[in-house]
Structure 1
Amino acid sequence: MAFGYGAGAYQQIRSHGGVESADPHGLITLLMDGALERLVKARAHMLRGEVAAKGEAITRCIEILGGLRDSLDAKADPVLVGRLDSLYDYMSRRLLQANLRDDASLIEEVSNLLQPIRDSWVQIAPAASRRAAGA
Protein backbone atom coordinates (compact mmCIF):
# COMPACT_ATOMS: atom_id res chain seq x y z
CA MET A 1 0.00 0.00 0.00
CA ALA A 2 2.84 2.41 0.76
CA PHE A 3 4.12 1.95 -2.79
CA GLY A 4 0.78 3.15 -4.13
CA TYR A 5 1.05 6.42 -2.26
CA GLY A 6 4.56 7.11 -3.50
CA ALA A 7 3.73 6.11 -7.07
CA GLY A 8 0.60 8.25 -7.09
CA ALA A 9 2.44 11.24 -5.71
CA TYR A 10 5.27 10.76 -8.18
CA GLN A 11 2.82 10.55 -11.08
CA GLN A 12 1.14 13.79 -10.01
CA ILE A 13 4.45 15.64 -9.80
CA ARG A 14 5.78 14.06 -12.99
CA SER A 15 3.08 15.82 -14.95
CA HIS A 16 4.57 19.15 -13.88
CA GLY A 17 7.97 18.37 -15.42
CA GLY A 18 11.38 18.54 -13.84
CA VAL A 19 11.28 15.04 -12.37
CA GLU A 20 13.64 13.57 -14.93
CA SER A 21 16.42 16.02 -14.01
CA ALA A 22 15.72 16.38 -10.27
CA ASP A 23 17.94 14.87 -7.61
CA PRO A 24 16.32 13.19 -4.57
CA HIS A 25 16.29 16.51 -2.70
CA GLY A 26 14.62 18.19 -5.66
CA LEU A 27 12.02 15.44 -5.91
CA ILE A 28 10.98 15.99 -2.29
CA THR A 29 10.74 19.72 -3.00
CA LEU A 30 8.52 18.97 -6.01
CA LEU A 31 6.29 16.75 -3.87
CA MET A 32 5.89 19.45 -1.24
CA ASP A 33 5.16 22.05 -3.91
CA GLY A 34 2.59 19.70 -5.44
CA ALA A 35 0.92 19.19 -2.07
CA LEU A 36 0.76 22.92 -1.42
CA GLU A 37 -0.67 23.50 -4.89
CA ARG A 38 -3.36 20.86 -4.27
CA LEU A 39 -4.26 22.56 -0.98
CA VAL A 40 -4.85 25.87 -2.75
CA LYS A 41 -6.99 24.12 -5.35
CA ALA A 42 -8.94 22.14 -2.73
CA ARG A 43 -9.76 25.29 -0.80
CA ALA A 44 -10.89 27.10 -3.95
CA HIS A 45 -13.08 24.16 -5.00
CA MET A 46 -14.52 23.99 -1.50
CA LEU A 47 -15.42 27.67 -1.47
CA ARG A 48 -17.11 27.32 -4.88
CA GLY A 49 -19.05 24.26 -3.77
CA GLU A 50 -17.32 21.96 -6.28
CA VAL A 51 -17.54 18.79 -4.23
CA ALA A 52 -15.98 16.30 -6.66
CA ALA A 53 -13.06 18.55 -7.58
CA LYS A 54 -12.46 19.36 -3.91
CA GLY A 55 -12.38 15.66 -3.05
CA GLU A 56 -9.98 14.95 -5.91
CA ALA A 57 -7.56 17.70 -4.85
CA ILE A 58 -7.64 16.58 -1.21
CA THR A 59 -7.13 12.95 -2.22
CA ARG A 60 -4.11 13.88 -4.35
CA CYS A 61 -2.64 15.89 -1.49
CA ILE A 62 -3.08 12.96 0.90
CA GLU A 63 -1.34 10.71 -1.65
CA ILE A 64 1.56 13.15 -1.85
CA LEU A 65 1.80 13.24 1.95
CA GLY A 66 1.95 9.45 1.81
CA GLY A 67 4.81 9.73 -0.67
CA LEU A 68 6.61 12.11 1.67
CA ARG A 69 6.14 9.63 4.52
CA ASP A 70 7.47 6.82 2.34
CA SER A 71 10.56 8.87 1.52
CA LEU A 72 11.59 9.36 5.16
CA ASP A 73 14.91 7.71 6.05
CA ALA A 74 14.77 6.51 9.65
CA LYS A 75 18.54 5.99 9.69
CA ALA A 76 19.17 9.70 9.13
CA ASP A 77 17.71 10.94 12.44
CA PRO A 78 15.19 8.56 14.04
CA VAL A 79 13.67 11.19 16.35
CA LEU A 80 13.18 13.78 13.61
CA VAL A 81 11.90 11.17 11.18
CA GLY A 82 9.39 9.93 13.75
CA ARG A 83 8.13 13.45 14.31
CA LEU A 84 7.82 14.15 10.59
CA ASP A 85 6.03 10.84 10.06
CA SER A 86 3.55 11.72 12.80
CA LEU A 87 3.08 15.22 11.41
CA TYR A 88 2.44 13.95 7.87
CA ASP A 89 -0.05 11.45 9.31
CA TYR A 90 -1.75 14.23 11.28
CA MET A 91 -1.97 16.39 8.14
CA SER A 92 -3.57 13.53 6.21
CA ARG A 93 -6.16 13.01 8.93
CA ARG A 94 -6.94 16.74 9.06
CA LEU A 95 -7.47 16.74 5.30
CA LEU A 96 -9.91 13.86 5.61
CA GLN A 97 -11.79 15.89 8.22
CA ALA A 98 -11.68 18.98 6.00
CA ASN A 99 -13.24 17.00 3.19
CA LEU A 100 -15.95 15.47 5.36
CA ARG A 101 -16.81 18.69 7.21
CA ASP A 102 -16.29 21.03 4.25
CA ASP A 103 -14.00 23.06 6.50
CA ALA A 104 -11.55 25.35 4.69
CA SER A 105 -9.83 26.25 7.98
CA LEU A 106 -8.50 22.68 8.19
CA ILE A 107 -6.99 23.00 4.72
CA GLU A 108 -5.33 26.23 5.81
CA GLU A 109 -4.04 24.51 8.95
CA VAL A 110 -2.35 21.83 6.87
CA SER A 111 -0.91 24.42 4.51
CA ASN A 112 0.44 26.38 7.49
CA LEU A 113 2.10 23.21 8.80
CA LEU A 114 3.58 22.11 5.48
CA GLN A 115 4.86 25.46 4.20
CA PRO A 116 7.57 25.93 6.86
CA ILE A 117 8.74 22.34 6.36
CA ARG A 118 9.02 22.99 2.64
CA ASP A 119 10.83 26.29 3.21
CA SER A 120 13.29 24.64 5.61
CA TRP A 121 13.84 21.76 3.19
CA VAL A 122 14.70 24.18 0.39
CA GLN A 123 17.16 25.98 2.67
CA ILE A 124 19.19 22.82 3.30
CA ALA A 125 19.63 22.09 -0.43
CA PRO A 126 22.98 23.89 -0.76
CA ALA A 127 24.37 22.09 2.31
CA ALA A 128 23.27 18.72 0.93
CA SER A 129 24.88 19.50 -2.43
CA ARG A 130 28.16 20.53 -0.80
CA ARG A 131 28.29 17.33 1.25
CA ALA A 132 27.62 15.22 -1.82
CA ALA A 133 30.34 17.02 -3.77
CA GLY A 134 32.82 16.52 -0.93
CA ALA A 135 32.12 12.81 -0.60
Structure 2
Amino acid sequence: MAFSNPFQTYQKQAVSTSRPEELTYMLYQGLVKYIRIAKNSLENKNFEESNTFILRSQDILSELMITLKTGYPVTDSLLSMYDYMKARLIQANINKDQQILEEVETYAVELSETWYNAMKEMKIKN
Protein backbone atom coordinates (compact mmCIF):
# COMPACT_ATOMS: atom_id res chain seq x y z
CA MET A 1 0.00 0.00 0.00
CA ALA A 2 1.49 3.33 -1.07
CA PHE A 3 1.18 6.41 1.09
CA SER A 4 1.11 9.85 -0.45
CA ASN A 5 3.16 12.73 0.83
CA PRO A 6 0.71 15.30 2.26
CA PHE A 7 2.99 18.20 1.32
CA GLN A 8 3.18 17.06 -2.31
CA THR A 9 -0.58 16.67 -2.38
CA TYR A 10 -0.97 20.19 -1.01
CA GLN A 11 1.47 21.58 -3.58
CA LYS A 12 -0.33 19.92 -6.48
CA GLN A 13 -3.66 21.20 -5.19
CA ALA A 14 -2.29 24.74 -4.79
CA VAL A 15 -0.91 24.78 -8.32
CA SER A 16 -4.03 23.31 -9.94
CA THR A 17 -6.38 25.77 -8.21
CA SER A 18 -4.30 28.96 -8.50
CA ARG A 19 -4.94 31.84 -10.85
CA PRO A 20 -2.28 32.62 -13.49
CA GLU A 21 -0.93 35.61 -11.57
CA GLU A 22 -0.56 33.45 -8.45
CA LEU A 23 1.28 30.80 -10.47
CA THR A 24 3.69 33.45 -11.72
CA TYR A 25 4.31 34.56 -8.15
CA MET A 26 4.95 30.93 -7.14
CA LEU A 27 7.52 30.69 -9.93
CA TYR A 28 9.25 33.84 -8.69
CA GLN A 29 9.29 32.47 -5.14
CA GLY A 30 10.74 29.19 -6.39
CA LEU A 31 13.37 31.07 -8.37
CA VAL A 32 14.50 32.99 -5.30
CA LYS A 33 14.48 29.83 -3.17
CA TYR A 34 16.52 27.77 -5.64
CA ILE A 35 19.09 30.52 -6.20
CA ARG A 36 19.56 30.81 -2.44
CA ILE A 37 20.00 27.06 -2.09
CA ALA A 38 22.49 27.06 -4.99
CA LYS A 39 24.36 29.94 -3.40
CA ASN A 40 24.53 28.16 -0.04
CA SER A 41 25.62 24.92 -1.71
CA LEU A 42 28.36 26.71 -3.61
CA GLU A 43 29.52 28.36 -0.39
CA ASN A 44 29.78 24.88 1.17
CA LYS A 45 31.66 23.55 -1.88
CA ASN A 46 28.80 21.19 -2.70
CA PHE A 47 29.13 21.69 -6.43
CA GLU A 48 26.74 18.92 -7.44
CA GLU A 49 23.88 20.36 -5.37
CA SER A 50 24.69 23.88 -6.53
CA ASN A 51 24.53 22.69 -10.15
CA THR A 52 21.16 21.01 -9.51
CA PHE A 53 19.59 24.15 -8.09
CA ILE A 54 21.10 26.47 -10.70
CA LEU A 55 19.56 24.21 -13.36
CA ARG A 56 16.20 24.35 -11.57
CA SER A 57 16.46 28.14 -11.51
CA GLN A 58 17.14 28.12 -15.24
CA ASP A 59 14.10 25.90 -15.76
CA ILE A 60 11.91 28.39 -13.91
CA LEU A 61 13.24 31.23 -16.05
CA SER A 62 12.49 29.16 -19.16
CA GLU A 63 8.93 28.63 -17.92
CA LEU A 64 8.53 32.35 -17.26
CA MET A 65 9.84 33.07 -20.76
CA ILE A 66 7.43 30.76 -22.56
CA THR A 67 4.41 32.09 -20.68
CA LEU A 68 4.99 35.69 -21.76
CA LYS A 69 2.75 37.22 -24.40
CA THR A 70 5.31 38.99 -26.55
CA GLY A 71 4.77 42.15 -28.51
CA TYR A 72 4.26 44.47 -25.56
CA PRO A 73 7.05 46.73 -24.29
CA VAL A 74 6.85 45.37 -20.73
CA THR A 75 6.88 41.73 -21.79
CA ASP A 76 9.71 42.34 -24.25
CA SER A 77 11.69 43.90 -21.37
CA LEU A 78 10.89 40.96 -19.11
CA LEU A 79 11.97 38.53 -21.81
CA SER A 80 15.31 40.32 -22.11
CA MET A 81 15.70 40.30 -18.33
CA TYR A 82 14.91 36.59 -18.03
CA ASP A 83 17.34 35.84 -20.86
CA TYR A 84 20.06 37.87 -19.15
CA MET A 85 19.44 36.15 -15.80
CA LYS A 86 19.58 32.75 -17.45
CA ALA A 87 22.88 33.58 -19.16
CA ARG A 88 24.30 34.80 -15.85
CA LEU A 89 23.22 31.59 -14.11
CA ILE A 90 25.05 29.59 -16.77
CA GLN A 91 28.17 31.69 -16.14
CA ALA A 92 27.80 31.24 -12.37
CA ASN A 93 27.52 27.49 -12.82
CA ILE A 94 30.52 27.22 -15.12
CA ASN A 95 32.74 29.50 -13.03
CA LYS A 96 31.34 28.52 -9.60
CA ASP A 97 30.86 32.26 -9.01
CA GLN A 98 29.05 33.30 -5.84
CA GLN A 99 28.88 36.97 -6.86
CA ILE A 100 26.95 36.20 -10.03
CA LEU A 101 24.43 34.19 -8.01
CA GLU A 102 24.04 37.15 -5.66
CA GLU A 103 23.44 39.44 -8.64
CA VAL A 104 20.76 37.15 -10.09
CA GLU A 105 19.21 36.70 -6.64
CA THR A 106 18.84 40.48 -6.34
CA TYR A 107 16.95 40.61 -9.63
CA ALA A 108 14.78 37.62 -8.69
CA VAL A 109 13.83 39.15 -5.33
CA GLU A 110 13.01 42.45 -7.01
CA LEU A 111 10.82 40.74 -9.62
CA SER A 112 9.05 38.71 -6.93
CA GLU A 113 8.37 41.75 -4.75
CA THR A 114 7.19 43.81 -7.72
CA TRP A 115 4.84 41.05 -8.85
CA TYR A 116 3.47 40.63 -5.31
CA ASN A 117 2.81 44.37 -5.03
CA ALA A 118 1.11 44.39 -8.43
CA MET A 119 -1.17 41.54 -7.34
CA LYS A 120 -2.00 43.45 -4.15
CA GLU A 121 -2.85 46.56 -6.17
CA MET A 122 -5.12 44.56 -8.47
CA LYS A 123 -6.99 43.12 -5.47
CA ILE A 124 -7.52 46.63 -4.09
CA LYS A 125 -8.86 47.88 -7.43
CA ASN A 126 -11.22 44.93 -7.80
TM-score of the superposition, structure 1-length normalised?
0.79
Distance 2:101 2:16 in 1: 30
**How many residue pairs get matched?**
117
In the other structure, the counterpart of 1:11 is: none
Distance 1:15 1:51 in 2: 30
Deviations 1:53-100 (A, max 9, x none): 11100000000001111111225xx11111110110000000000011
Match of 1:65 among 26, 39, 61: 61
Alpha carbon RMSD of aligned pairs, Å?
A: 1.9
Distance 2:35 2:20 in 1: 23
In the other structure, the counterpart of 1:34 is: 30
Question: What displacement does 1:15 show?
Answer: 7.8
Greater Rg by CA: 2
In the TM superposition, 1:71-82 aligns within 5 A as 71-74=67-70, 78-82=72-76
Give the gaps of 5 or more residues in structure 2: 1-7
- 1:104 paired to 2:98: yes
- 1:54 paired to 2:38: no
In the other structure, the counterpart of 2:3 is: none
Question: What displacement does 1:38 show?
Answer: 0.3
Deviations 1:23-43 (A, max 9, x none): 101000000000100001001
Q: Identity over the aligned pairs, expressed in percent? A: 24
Question: What displacement does 1:128 show?
Answer: 3.5
Question: What displacement does 1:47 show?
Answer: 0.9
SS in 2 for 1:124: helix
In the other structure, the counterpart of 1:90 is: 84
Q: 1:15 to 1:54 in 2, by over 3 A?
A: farther
SS in 2 for 1:72: coil
Letter in 1 for 2:32: L
Q: 1:114 to 1:100 in 2, by over 3 A?
A: same
Q: 1:16 to 1:120 in 2, by over 3 A?
A: farther
Distance 1:118 1:49 in 2: 28
In the other structure, the counterpart of 1:7 is: none
Give 4+ residue runs of structure 1 displaced > 3 Å after superposition: 126-131
